[in-house]
Amino acid sequence: MPETSPATPVDASPAVLSLRSLHLRTELALLERAGSVVEERGTHLVVRTPDNPDFYWGNFLLLRDLPLPGGAREVMGACFTEFPASGHRAITFDLTEPLADDPARAAVLEEFTTAGMKASRSVALTALALEAPARPHPDAVLRPLASDADWEQRVELAAATYDGAPGPSFDAYARGRVAAERALEEQGLGHRWGAFVDDRLVSTAALYRVAGDVARYQVVETHPEARRQGLAGSLVHAVGTHGLSELGAGQLVIVADADDEAIRLYRALGFTDAEETTELEQRPGS
């Protein structure tokens, strides 16, 4: 059964604590605690995960602001300079407002997309309490992952929800993420939970305590064949309720793609929008 005493909050580096974005501050705090390295470069941070080079958002540049007009290709070149063996580029910005609302910033963002990067928007949502799901799943068993077999199912679920063709590099990435999350769990920061139907893992979500009384969700996924059955809502509610009552959390933070239907689910559970960040990604071969 999960621990009944509050988890120890994460001690983040000064570079991470200086970030404006709640999304990025909580993300990097957990990355550091799981073994990633954050290097301060003044205008930007370099985030590295040496044990998992295939983890796109564990090996990236975080700029404190957008570059000046005409600077996109220099930033993209810096990404390859910092990660010469990587096949991907990943760049984000410590900005918390929609870039499209400012024509000048939108024009700089377009320089990146014109050069081949894909832009996406993420919304960080927060809650101090949760509403019960309108349509809870009637039969799923909701519990923390507890055994090696549970975690192996977690790898299989990650492959089933991947938006590409999983191969050896994806398997290495997924197993690296499992190792990192088990390290967070061993430090008493929280758990990855699963929704099991007939002993099969069909949905998963994690929650870990970070600085102060803030707890951050990580990677909510549901098997494509089990979606729209109330599993994710039931699981996010159960995990958050546990965080508030047992981990000593006072504020829950969850991040969703601005264009994904999951964001409506989170709002229905009582989460409210706090900020928007923009990510740029270029995968191998694209």
Task: Kindly tell me the sign of the dihedral angle through the C-alpha atoms of 236, 237, 239, 240.
Answer: positive
210 found inside a domain: yes
Amino acid 3: pLDDT: 46
268 found inside a domain: yes
Q: Do 150 and 270 belong together in one domain?
A: yes
241 versus 2: the higher-pLDDT residue is 241
Amino acid 10: pLDDT: 62
- The mean of the pLDDT values for the chain is 93
Band (163; pLDDT cuts 50, 70, 90): confident
Amino acid 11: pLDDT: 74
DSSP per-residue string spanning 207-248? EEE-STTEEEEEEEEE-GGG-SSSHHHHHHHHHHHHHHHHS-
CATH number of the domain that 251 lies in? 3.40.630.30
Range of the domain at 23: 14-123
User: Please, are residues 178 and 151 in contact by the beta-carbon 8 Å criterion?
Assistant: yes
Residue 48 scores a pLDDT above 50: yes
Band (4; pLDDT cuts 50, 70, 90): very low
DSSP-derived secondary structure letter, 10: P
- In the chain, what percentage of residues exceed pLDDT 90? 88
Question: What are the tens digits of pLDDT across the range 31-40?
Answer: 999 999 999 9
Q: What integer is the mean pLDDT of 2-22?
A: 75
86 versus 281: the higher-pLDDT residue is 281
Q: Do 73 and 186 belong together in one domain?
A: no
Q: Do 115 and 201 belong together in one domain?
A: no
Two tokens at 233?
A: 């809502």
Amino acid 212: pLDDT: 84
Residue 1 scores a pLDDT above 80: no
Amino acid 264: pLDDT: 96
213 found inside a domain: yes
**Contacting residues for 147 by C-beta, under 8 A, at least 6 apart:** none
Q: Do 153 and 44 belong together in one domain?
A: no
Residue 74 scores a pLDDT above 80: yes
Torsion-angle region of 187 (φ positive above 0: left; ψ -120 to 50: alpha; else: beta): alpha
Amino acid 286: pLDDT: 66
Residue 86 scores a pLDDT above 90: no
Amino acid 6: pLDDT: 59
Question: What are the tens digits of pLDDT across the range 203-246?
Answer: 999 999 998 899 999 999 999 999 999 999 999 999 999 999 99
158 found inside a domain: yes
Q: Do 185 and 88 belong together in one domain?
A: no
User: Please, are residues 36 and 58 in contact by the beta-carbon 8 Å criterion?
Assistant: yes
Question: What are the tens digits of pLDDT across the range 123-142?
Answer: 999 999 999 999 999 999 99
Q: Do 119 and 161 belong together in one domain?
A: no
